[in-house]
Chain A
Amino acid sequence: MSDQRRLSDHEMDQLIGRLLQLGVLLAALVTLVGGVMLLAHHGSATPSFTTFRGEPDHLTSLGGIVRGLRELRSDAVVQLGIVLLIATPIARVAFTLVAFMVQRDRTYVLITLVVLVLLLYGLIYGRA
């Protein structure tokens, strides 16, 4: 592969910047929609957060959130926005991995892979 066809560091920076912007925008929009729905449906409830009880199943795992969405639960929509937000830096790392692969930078492919595995472990498995 010739040098011109490889992804330059500068091009990589531009793409990473765009990816982060899009991710945050999308996550904020979904969270906003979910938040408005939540207030419209349960706005007059009086919640208490003074003691920690943990969240119900449909708000704590990716599978649970999908089930909550199928039941059109507003709190699950907010949680989807939050998952999208958590996924944004993870997508950035995944993109960086691809970019280093294109650059054939073996050391950094390995380093980035370690970061990606740690992040996915936290999000999907969730037991540190």
Chain B
Amino acid sequence: MTTTFLALIIAGGAFGAGLLGALTGLGGGIVIVPMLTLIFHVDLRYAVGASLVSVIATSSGAAAAYVREGYTNVRVGIFLEVATTLGALTGAVLAGLIPTGALGVLFGLVLLFTAYKSLRSRPDHEIVTTTDWWSAHLRLDSTYPTPNGMQHYSVRRAPAGFALMFVAGIISALLGIGSGIIKVIAMDQTMRLPFKVSTTTSNFMIGVTAAASAGVYLHRGQIDPILAFPVMLGVLGGALIGARILGTANTTRLRQLFTGVVIVMALEMLYKGATGSI
């Protein structure tokens, strides 16, 4: 396969991943590594490097819009980024020590968990308005726009959220994904932030988390230009167009389709990881 042909089909696949990722809210990064390893037989280490680059691109692009709309809690984000960047650097060290087969199995499990989460509806919880010691000292409480004007909210259990974010950082670096699902769980379920604030702040943090490990992978020679450029431009293009047509598409059907793809990829990653053929 020539470089041009390879780059074009990888760009096409990455475009589809970015488009579906933006339309379903699951992010395209999670299917890039399975696509590169299962379909194109790319070594997992190259795949993780290329995927991380695309994760930075989409997260920074989307975060630009969200931050300006006023949903993102910048203080919560920067406080938790201490944990995610520490986790990402830890994960980058671990990635050099863990056999790729084991990483494949871990990837399969994370994909299954993502599919499970995306099929379950999430009941919106009450907004908490009483502050606790951590939130008061770190001034994490804030406001966000609602149809009835600005709504005040408080933040709970910052240390528990911090610990979960460390884990999210490790997983992000090991697998080359944004691990937005874990970040949202930490903020929405543990710290009781409003859902829209959790998703946008998670997105805001993903680029920083991925940048921490991407630097290490660049030095380790895991970022190859021939793979990284079509993946980055493809995912970014797909994500930008996905965000444009978000209001018009039937996202329930797309979500089911994307979840189906994720489950198939999960099973194959588990099988190939367990048999050591990845």
Residues from chain B with Cβ under 8 Å of A45 in the complex? 2-3
Rounded to whole Å, the gap between the CB of B33 and the closest CB of chain A is: 13
Q: Is the CB of B90 within 8 A of A128?
A: yes
Residues from chain B with Cβ under 8 Å of A52 in the complex? 43-46, 222
Residues from chain A with Cβ under 8 Å of B14 in the complex? none
Q: Is the CB of A39 within 8 A of B207?
A: no
Residues from chain B with Cβ under 8 Å of A54 in the complex? 220-222
Residues from chain B with Cβ under 8 Å of A50 in the complex? 41-43
- 29 interchain pairs (CB within 8 A)? A13-B67, A17-B63, A20-B61, A24-B60, A24-B61, A38-B3, A44-B4, A50-B43, A51-B43, A52-B45, A52-B222, A55-B223, A61-B219, A78-B225, A79-B223, A85-B57, A85-B232, A92-B60, A107-B137, A111-B79, A115-B81, A115-B85, A118-B89, A119-B208, A119-B212, A121-B89, A122-B216, A123-B215, A126-B215
**A28 and B236 in contact (CB under 8 A), knowing A60-B221, A126-B215?**
yes
Q: Is the CB of B207 within 8 A of A88?
A: yes
Identify 5 new A-B residue pairs, CB closer than 8 A, beyond the known A59-B223, A122-B88.
Answer: A31-B229, A49-B42, A54-B220, A118-B86, A123-B215
* Stretch touching chain A among B69-77, B108-116, B184-192, B266-274: B69-77
Residues from chain A with Cβ under 8 Å of B230 in the complex? 35
B interface bracket (residues with beta carbon within 8 Å of A): 35 or more
Dominant secondary structure of chain B at its interface with chain A:
helix
Q: Is the CB of A21 within 8 A of B64?
A: yes
Rounded to whole Å, the gap between the CB of B216 and the closest CB of chain A is: 5
Residues from chain A with Cβ under 8 Å of B86 in the complex? 118
What residue in chain B is nearest A50 (Cβ atoms)? B41
A98 contacts B by Cβ under 8 Å = no
What residue in chain A is nearest B1 (Cβ atoms)? A46
Rounded to whole Å, the gap between the CB of A71 and the closest CB of chain B is: 15
Q: Is the CB of A85 within 8 A of B6?
A: no
CB-contact partner of A42 in B3, B44, B236, under 8 A: B3
Rounded to whole Å, the gap between the CB of A104 and the closest CB of chain B is: 13
Q: Is the CB of B223 within 8 A of A93?
A: no
Within 8 A of A (CB), among B97-141: 137-139
B53 contacts A by Cβ under 8 Å = yes
Q: Is the CB of B68 within 8 A of A17?
A: yes
Q: Is the CB of A88 within 8 A of B229?
A: no
Within 8 A of A (CB), among B134-172: 137-139
A56 to B209 Cα, complex, angstroms? 26
Residues from chain A with Cβ under 8 Å of B89 in the complex? 118, 121-122, 128
Within 8 A of A (CB), among B220-263: 220-230, 232-233, 236
B181 contacts A by Cβ under 8 Å = no
Residues from chain A with Cβ under 8 Å of B236 in the complex? 24, 28
A96 to B82 Cα, complex, angstroms? 14
B211 contacts A by Cβ under 8 Å = yes
CB-contact partner of B46 in A9, A10, A31, A49, under 8 A: A49
Rounded to whole Å, the gap between the CB of B162 and the closest CB of chain A is: 11
Determine which residue in A86, A90, A123 has the highest number of CB atoms from chain B within 10 A of its CB, and name it.
A86
B30 contacts A by Cβ under 8 Å = no
A93 to B211 Cα, complex, angstroms? 11
A51 to B59 Cα, complex, angstroms? 29
Rounded to whole Å, the gap between the CB of B214 and the closest CB of chain A is: 5
